[in-house]
Structure 1
Amino acid sequence: MSSKNDQEDQEITHRHSAPYVSGFPLKILIFFLERVPGLSSYFYWNAGMKSLRYRNFNEEMTVMPLPLPKEVFGVEDPKTINGLEIFNQRNKTLNQAPENQRFLCARDYTEAYTSKKFTPLQVCEKLIDKINHSCSEACDPPLHGMYQYNKDDILAQAEASTSRYNNGQSLGPLDGVPVAVKDEIDVTGYETRVGTSFFNRGNPASNDAFLVKKLRDQGAIIIGKTNMHEIGFDITTNNPNTHTSRNPYNINHYCGGSSGGSACVVASGLCPIAIGCDGGGSIRIPSSFCGIYGLKTTCGRISSKGKFALSSSVGVAGPMTACVDDLALAYYVMSGKDPEDPKTFHQPSPTLHDLYLTDDLSDLKIGIFSAWNKQVTDPAITPALDNFINEFKLRGAEFIEIEIPELEDARVAHLITIGSEHCAVIDGYKKHSHLLNLPNRANIATLSNVNYSDYIKSQQVRTRIMRNISVVFSGVDLILTPTCAINAPQIYPRALKYGEINTLVTADGTRFAQLANFTGIPAVTVPAGYNDKNLPIGLQFMAKWYDEATLLRVAKVSEEIFESERRRPAEKYWLGNLL
Structure 2
Amino acid sequence: MTTDLTRSTAAELADLLAQGSVSARDVARAHLDRTAAVDGDVHSYLHVDAEGALAQADAVDRRRAAGEPLHALAGVPIAVKDVMTTRGLPTTCGSRILQGWVPPYDATLVTRLRGAGMPILGKTNMDEFAMGSSTEHSAYGPSRNPWDLERIPGGSGGGSSSVVASFQAPLAIGTDTGGSIRQPAAVTGTVGTKPTYGGVSRYGLVALASSLDQAGPCTRTVLDAALLHELIGGHDPMDSTSIDAPVPPVVEAARRADVAGLRIGIVRELTGEGFQAGVQARFDEAVQHLVDAGAEVVEVSCPSFTYALAAYYLILPSEASSNLAKFDAMRYGLRVAPEGVDEPSAEQVMAATRDAGFGDEVKRRIILGTYALSSGYYDAYYGSAQKVRRLIADDFTRAFETADVLVSPTAPTTAFRFGDKLDDPMAMYLNDIATIPANLAGIPGMSVPSGLAEEDGLPAGFQILAPAMQDHRLYAVGAALEARLTAAWGGALLDRAPALATTKEA
List gaps (5 residues or longer) in structure 1: 1-98, 137-141
1:30 corresponds to which residue?
none
Q: 1:227 to 1:102 in 2, by over 3 A?
A: closer
Matches within 5 A, 1:56-67: none
AA aligned opposite 1:275: I
Measured in 1, the distance between the counterparts of 2:256 and 2:151 equals 37
Q: Secondary structure at the match of 1:285?
A: helix
| Higher alpha-carbon deviation: 252-261 or 417-426 | 417-426
2:418 corresponds to 1:473: no
Matches within 5 A, 1:397-436: 397-429=295-327, 431=350, 432-435=353-356, 436=358
Q: 1:114 to 1:409 in 2, by over 3 A?
A: closer
C-alpha contact 1:339 1:345 (8 A) present in aligned 2: no
2:443 corresponds to 1:516: no
Q: 1:114 to 1:333 in 2, by over 3 A?
A: closer
2:44 corresponds to which residue?
145
2:126 corresponds to 1:228: yes
The alpha carbon displacement at 1:254 in A equals 0.3
The alpha carbon displacement at 1:238 in A equals 0.8
- CA-to-aligned-CA distance 1:123-153 (integer Å, 9 cap, x gap): 32333232233333xxxxx211011122221
Measured in 2, the distance between the counterparts of 1:347 and 1:403 equals 31
Matches within 5 A, 1:141-540: 142-169=41-68, 171-199=70-98, 201-239=99-137, 241-352=139-250, 353-358=252-257, 361-429=259-327, 431=350, 432-435=353-356, 436-450=358-372, 451-453=377-379, 454-492=381-419, 500-531=422-453, 532-540=455-463
TM-score by length of 2: 0.87
2:10 corresponds to which residue?
106
The alpha carbon displacement at 1:447 in A equals 4.0
RMSD over aligned CA atoms reads 2.4
Q: Percent identity?
A: 28
The alpha carbon displacement at 1:154 in A equals 1.3
- CA-to-aligned-CA distance 1:101-141 (integer Å, 9 cap, x gap): 994211322333344443221332333232233333xxxxx
Q: 1:312 to 1:159 in 2, by over 3 A?
A: same
Structure with more of its chain in helix, by fraction: 2
Measured in 2, the distance between the counterparts of 1:339 and 1:447 equals 30
Q: Secondary structure at the match of 1:567?
A: helix
1:545 corresponds to which residue?
468
C-alpha contact 1:375 1:485 (8 A) present in aligned 2: no
Q: Which has the higher contact order (CA 8 A, sep 6+)?
A: 1
AA aligned opposite 1:471: R
C-alpha contact 1:336 1:350 (8 A) present in aligned 2: no
The alpha carbon displacement at 1:508 in A equals 3.0
Q: 1:346 to 1:128 in 2, by over 3 A?
A: closer
C-alpha contact 1:524 1:541 (8 A) present in aligned 2: yes
Q: 1:267 to 1:576 in 2, by over 3 A?
A: farther
The alpha carbon displacement at 1:457 in A equals 1.9
C-alpha contact 1:426 1:433 (8 A) present in aligned 2: no
The alpha carbon displacement at 1:423 in A equals 1.7
2:340 corresponds to which residue?
none
Measured in 1, the distance between the counterparts of 2:427 and 2:158 equals 15
C-alpha contact 1:368 1:401 (8 A) present in aligned 2: yes
Measured in 2, the distance between the counterparts of 1:336 and 1:167 equals 29
| Higher alpha-carbon deviation: 468-477 or 160-169 | 160-169
AA aligned opposite 1:437: G
Q: 1:134 to 1:170 in 2, by over 3 A?
A: farther
Q: Secondary structure at the match of 2:150?
A: strand
C-alpha contact 2:126 2:155 (8 A) present in aligned 1: yes
Q: 1:153 to 1:244 in 2, by over 3 A?
A: same
Q: Secondary structure at the match of 2:254?
A: coil
Measured in 2, the distance between the counterparts of 1:405 and 1:348 equals 33
Q: Secondary structure at the match of 2:277?
A: coil
The alpha carbon displacement at 1:212 in A equals 1.3
The alpha carbon displacement at 1:576 in A equals 11
2:27 corresponds to 1:123: yes
Q: 1:572 to 1:388 in 2, by over 3 A?
A: closer
AA aligned opposite 2:402: G
TM-score by length of 1: 0.76
Measured in 1, the distance between the counterparts of 2:138 and 2:177 equals 22
C-alpha contact 1:248 1:573 (8 A) present in aligned 2: no
Q: Secondary structure at the match of 1:318?
A: strand
C-alpha contact 1:320 1:327 (8 A) present in aligned 2: yes
